[in-house]
Amino acid sequence: MKNLHDEKEVLQEERSILTAPLQRRSFLQFAGAGAAGIALIAAGCKKDKHIDDGAGNMGGVTLDFKDDLGVLNYAYALEQLEAAFYIQVAATPYANISAPELAYFKDIQFHEIAHREFFKNALGQAAIAGLEVDFSKINFADRTSVLGTAKAFEDLGVSAYNGAGKLLKSTAYLTLAGKIVSVEARHAAYIRELISPNSFSNVEVVDAVNGLDKSRDPKAVLAIAGGFVKTKINVINL
C-alpha cells in the first residue's frame, strides 16, 4: 500500500508537469514525467480492472469508484473528452477567428492533452479504454457554437473535480486534482470573457452567498458528458 514517502514522491515528480512554464508542444514532454510515481503507488494497492469488451465498443467502459483509481479513471474520461474537443477546435478554426483566440485554443489544447496523457500514464494497466466521442451537435465552423460548447465543458470540468474531491482518500491525489481544477477554472473564466465580458463570476457557476464554485457528483456529470460520448460508460460502487 502507499505511504507518506510515496505520496511525497508523486508531488515532487508531477511538479514539472503542472507548474512548469507552458511552452506549447514542449509542455507535452512532461506529460509522463510524474506518472511513474502514481503508477508505483497504484501497484502497491488493489488494482482496478482494465475493462473492455474485446470488440472495443459493445460493453463500453466501467468506472469503479471502489477506490482512488476509479476516481482517477473518471478524471481521465473527462480529460479525454476535453482534449478531443480542443484538438478539433485548433485543427479546424471557426470562421474569422482572431489570432489571440486561435493562440488561446492551441494553448488550451496542449493543457488538455497533457492532463489526458498524465492520467493515462499514471493509471497504466488500470486505465479505462479510450472513449469514442460524438461531436455531431457542434458546428466547429461557428464561433457561437464552439464557445458555447467550450463554456459547457469547462464549467462541467470544474464542477466535476469539485464534486469528486471528497471521494479521494490519498492526499497526494487530492493535491493533484486541486492543481488541475485550478487550470480548468482559468479556462472557464477566459471562455466566459470571450462570450460576455465581466461574466467570469456568473452566478451560474459561483455561489453568490459563499463565493464558491459549484460542484456536481459523478452521475450528474456523466449524464451531461454522455451526450458527447459514443462509448457506453458504466458506473459502479459510487
Is residue 85 in a domain?
yes
85-109 pLDDT tens trace: 999 999 999 999 999 999 999 999 9
48 residue type, one letter: D
Give the model's pLDDT for residue 40: 38
Average pLDDT taken over every residue of the chain: 79
- Tell me, what CATH number does 208's domain have? 1.20.1260.10
Q: Answer whether residue 33 shows pLDDT above 60.
A: no
6 vs 67, higher pLDDT: 67
Residues spanned by the domain of 98: 48-236
Tell me the helix, strand and coil percentages in the chain, rounded to 5.
Answer: 60, 5, 35
HSE-CB at 52 with a 13 A cutoff on CA atoms is 11
Among 28-32, 82-86, 192-196, name the one with the lowest average pLDDT.
28-32
Total number of domains constituting the chain: 1
Q: Is the pLDDT of residue 188 over 80?
A: yes
The Cα 183–Cα 98 span in angstroms is: 23
pLDDT of residue 11 exceeding 50: no
Total Cβ atoms within 10 A of residue 209: 7
Q: Is 206 part of a structural domain of the chain?
A: yes
Quick: pLDDT tens for 127-137: 999 999 999 99
What's the one-letter identity of residue 28? L
Separation of CA 114 from chain center: 10
Q: Please report the pLDDT score of residue 213 as a whole number.
A: 79
